Structure 1
Amino acid sequence: MIEDRVETFDAIIIGSGQAGNPLALALAKEKWKVAIVEKGTLGGTCVNTGCTPTKAYVASARAAWAISNAPNLGIEVPKSTKVNLKSIKKRKDKLVNQSRLGIRKSLVDSPQISMVRGTATFLDKTRIKVGSRVLKSYKIFLNVGARARIPEGFEDVDHLTNSSILQLEKVPESLIIIGGSYIGLEFAQIFNRLGSKVTVLEMGDYLISKEDQHTSEQVREVLENENIKVICGAHCLKGKNKKSAGVIVSFQKGGKDKKISGTHLLIATGRMPNSDLLKPEKAGLKLTQRGYLEVSPTLETNIEGIYALGDCNGKGAFTHTSYNDYEIMENQLFGDKTRTLDDRITNYALYIDPPLGRAGMTLAQAKETGKNLLFTRMPMSDISRAKEKGETQGKMEVIVDADSEQILGAAVFGTGGDEIIGTFLTAMYGKLSYKTLLNSVQTHPTVTELIPTLLQQLKPIKK
């Protein structure tokens, strides 16, 4: 009988990502007997193939760019600089391994936590199977993450994903990237700065479809200024392997057939949740059309006692949203039960250089609300600190509800944008009037000091 060998726990966590690990430790602190199941490496996307490794590469690419840009700042450098991708990868691997070891130690050191290695699948709404083991709990937390989505027709074409490109030890001679959003554009600039000839193919009419077209056009300008070729409106994409080495990608642009070839192909056309790998139908779990697990504002699925956190619930595909899912869950289990998904303000960054920081709504989204709006935009080229650093690309912009005086959204695309956006975000969480920032005194000389000046220029938008 299968019940004879069932292992029972107070909670089962599937996936050791940025929600699963801290949740396991929080449950253990409350003396829950916890099983945490992981089929791959500890740490989830952020540690292994996301934030930690890619931002390490961004730093190396930035150093290469700084050297090439040094003459513009009056610094003469040798022409024989060399990029060593093997060394860059070694540094990245060291950072990743340090994080993994830290996570493993924290989990292993807790007597309340049992680590279970393998792929988990549901048997029913309280039992899961991992290899030959059967685990049972009335509280199951899913933190299973997501994986690269490969377009139909490219399965048999030699390609890289956001994971496998991090394993290269030689800079590609020519890199074709399919997908003009966050992942694709970050790798485009990284490898261009490291020495690759890069082409980005995007099916949409402009890059980063979630952003306003003005932002997209500025991002494209930044990339093209660095000699990255960007082709938007590329339809009917097909790929094939070259007989010798490399790939050929054919597409239609403006009704004409075109093709390009490269030594390497990166597919960055989005990600799909790993929910399907769980056999969710066995537990009766409902999925959205895109495969995400449906959740309530308290992260509970349609099945009582089963919760979905992180990328697999479709409520944010970022480390900070995943960790916030943990915070909501911890509050619902052991706190005053006041925290929910409804409290969260959208915010993210695009880590090209200069970076884009976004908080709240885009201008297009704000217009859809029907509210009376105030809006202003300032080019980075008007900001002294940006001029002094020799980094004048980009803008700052802000959208305000004219009636409540609260900030609805802001974007900082330019030097320090990923950090500066936090000023707007803090005001938004505090539900402050924009006048609080307008009347503030910010440190000179910084980019942030121009926020009051920016807000002085707010003007109504006609409906």
Structure 2
Amino acid sequence: MADAFDLIVLGSGPGGYVAAIRAAQLGLKTAIVERELLGGICLNWGCIPTKALLRSAEIYHYMSHAKDYGLVADGISADIAAVVKRSRGVAKQLNQGVTHLMKKNKVTVFMGTGKLAGKGKLSVTGADGKTTELEAKNIIVATGARARDLPNLPADGEKVWTYRHAMTPKEMPTKLLVIGSGAIGIEFASFYNDMGAEVTVVEMLDRIVPVEDADISAHLEKALKKQGMTILTGAKIDTISADASGVKATITTKDGKASDGQYSHVIVAIGIVPNTADIGLKELGVAVDDRGFLKTDATCKTNVEGLYAIGDITAPPWLAHKASHEGVIAVEAIAGLHPHAMDPLNIPGCTYCHPQIASVGLTEAKARDAGYEVKVGNFPFIGNGKAIALGEPEGFVKTVFDAKTGELLGAHMIGAEVTEMIQGYTIGKTLETTEAELMETVFPHPTISETMHESVLSAYGRQLHM
């Protein structure tokens, strides 16, 4: 006889484990199924351990520039093995934290490979080959996604890496090729550049971090080139091959010129593939879009009764915090609480390169394309006392408003600590604030966050410090 639950969650990433916790809070008998490590990719191989790596690179960068702060640091060096060990330790700590949260909330954990076995049914095959049958009125699928390979050169963990290999390198790259300039590609490019590798980034579109505002892209490209990176936009990989000595690539740049390059390693960061195969979705007739991602409604429900989907197997943006919020929405819908639908324009995005990037809402171009008449504010970090005192004068804040109503349509930031600051604008958008409330908000001095206030003032010709 199958074990019965009110809810089964397939996948324990930031969407799955948060959904399980919220379900337990609402009194639902809940089970969670995980084939590898509790916490999923984010905690174990994504968001968290990469930030630990980037923190080490940031400290190394500051040590290398100690004289800029009146300090002396001689003979410094980086130990890539020790840096990776620290990162893995952080991931392990958080994995243990999720394990504790499951016990605390009385969520039953099944370790093994889960597969839908019909409506309301799920089988779990453990490492020992034994299968456990589960059933529940509702199931949430939160199986996430994996890195997309180059069609002619799959990652091997030796010379050809995905993000997962790049987090635990067997050796330090000397000359690194990064294909793709989204958040993952740029973060690893930034990390390895700070750690001393010679880095080249290839992007097929006309600018790096192409989902960001064009002004952000331009500023980041300038900053990364200043740090020594080679940035090739509007470029394509004609041929690429790898052997024991490294990677050889022929790259055609936007001027039509092709050239051969030899690299020690390549990181492929060209997108993700949803983990939807072989888990019983096709047999149930679950609807997917043209790219293979599951279609869901405002409460994360699929076209199959009792089956919900959240996170990276559904529509973008593919972000951990979006998955977590979807988990809460799905569970509250199951419990009959009628949750509010999530507005994708209120989901912030952060890229932890150096300098950092953060944004929420519409870019200036997308706001204009949507028919808005806009007012745009822009304030540089060089006009901010705290940024100068920190030795971080590069960066700016850009705000986009509806000229007719004063609604905050979007905010875009680049510079030190902007990933911590963006939530101020995110709260403002969620509260449907206008320029009036933001202007009347008192920002503490001295903080970099004052640039946020000044950018709003700038949109209306009222900036004070520039």
TM-score for the superposition, normalised by structure 2: 0.92
1:127 correspondence with 2:121 = yes
Counterpart pick for 1:35 among 4, 28, 31: 31
CA deviation vs aligned residue, 1:392-430 (integer Å, no higher than 9, x gap)? 222111011122212110112112211222222222222
CA deviation vs aligned residue, 1:116-163 (integer Å, no higher than 9, x gap)? 222222333332333333333221101111100112111276411111
Aligned to 2:128: none
Aligned to 1:338: 339
CA-atom RMSD in angstroms: 2.0
Report how far residue 451 of structure 1 moved: 3.2
Distance 2:169 2:155 in 1: 20
Q: Percent identity?
A: 27
Alignment of 1:417-456 (within 5 A): 417-456=418-457
* Alpha-carbon spacing, 1:212–1:32, altered in 2? closer, same or farther (3 Å): closer
Report how far residue 318 of structure 1 moved: 1.4
Counterpart pick for 1:106 among 101, 108, 111: 101
In structure 2, the residue corresponding to 1:386 is in which secondary structure? helix
Q: Is the 8 A contact 1:294 1:313 kept in 2?
A: yes
Aligned to 1:118: 112
Q: Is the 8 A contact 1:159 1:265 kept in 2?
A: yes
In structure 1, the residue corresponding to 2:65 is in which secondary structure? helix
CA deviation vs aligned residue, 1:315-336 (integer Å, no higher than 9, x gap)? 4311211111122123323463
Q: Is the 8 A contact 1:160 1:267 kept in 2?
A: yes
5+ long unaligned stretches in structure 2: 126-130, 462-466
Counterpart pick for 1:26 among 7, 22, 27: 22
Task: State the AA in 1 paired with 2:213.
Answer: D
Distance 1:41 1:397 in 2: 39
Distance 2:249 2:433 in 1: 50
How many residues align structurally? 453
Q: Is the 8 A contact 1:297 1:342 kept in 2?
A: no
Q: Is the 8 A contact 2:347 2:426 kept in 1?
A: no
Aligned to 1:67: 63
* Alpha-carbon spacing, 1:271–1:156, altered in 2? closer, same or farther (3 Å): closer
Aligned to 1:317: 318
CA deviation vs aligned residue, 1:228-267 (integer Å, no higher than 9, x gap)? 111112224432123x421112222233322211111111
Alignment of 1:192-271 (within 5 A): 192-242=193-243, 244-253=244-253, 254-271=255-272
Distance 2:104 2:418 in 1: 39
Q: Is the 8 A contact 1:299 1:307 kept in 2?
A: yes
Report how far residue 31 of structure 1 moved: 4.4
Report how far residue 176 of structure 1 moved: 1.1
1:83 correspondence with 2:78 = yes
Distance 1:23 1:425 in 2: 22
Distance 2:231 2:83 in 1: 26
Q: Is the 8 A contact 2:381 2:451 kept in 1?
A: no
Distance 1:138 1:334 in 2: 11
Aligned to 1:57: 53
Q: Is the 8 A contact 1:347 1:360 kept in 2?
A: yes
Report how far residue 61 of structure 1 moved: 0.4
Report how far residue 311 of structure 1 moved: 1.3
Q: Is the 8 A contact 1:276 1:291 kept in 2?
A: no
Q: Is the 8 A contact 1:65 1:193 kept in 2?
A: yes
In structure 1, the residue corresponding to 2:143 is in which secondary structure? coil
Task: State the AA in 1 paired with 2:260.
Answer: K
Report how far residue 201 of structure 1 moved: 1.2
Alignment of 1:108-187 (within 5 A): 108=103, 111=106, 113-131=107-125, 132-155=131-154, 158-187=159-188
Report how far residue 62 of structure 1 moved: 0.4
TM-score for the superposition, normalised by structure 1: 0.92
Distance 1:126 1:71 in 2: 63
CA deviation vs aligned residue, 1:368-399 (integer Å, no higher than 9, x gap)? 22122111222222222222222122211101
* Alpha-carbon spacing, 1:323–1:110, altered in 2? closer, same or farther (3 Å): closer
Q: Is the 8 A contact 2:384 2:450 kept in 1?
A: no
Q: Is the deviation greater in 322-331 or in 155-164?
A: 155-164
Distance 1:107 1:212 in 2: 40
In structure 2, the residue corresponding to 1:437 is in which secondary structure? helix
Report how far residue 343 of structure 1 moved: 7.5
CA deviation vs aligned residue, 1:50-69 (integer Å, no higher than 9, x gap)? 12101101110001110112
In structure 1, the residue corresponding to 2:118 is in which secondary structure? coil
Report how far residue 210 of structure 1 moved: 1.0
5+ long unaligned stretches in structure 1: none
Report how far residue 29 of structure 1 moved: 4.1
Aligned to 2:288: 287
Q: Is the 8 A contact 1:437 1:451 kept in 2?
A: no
Q: Is the 8 A contact 1:153 1:238 kept in 2?
A: no
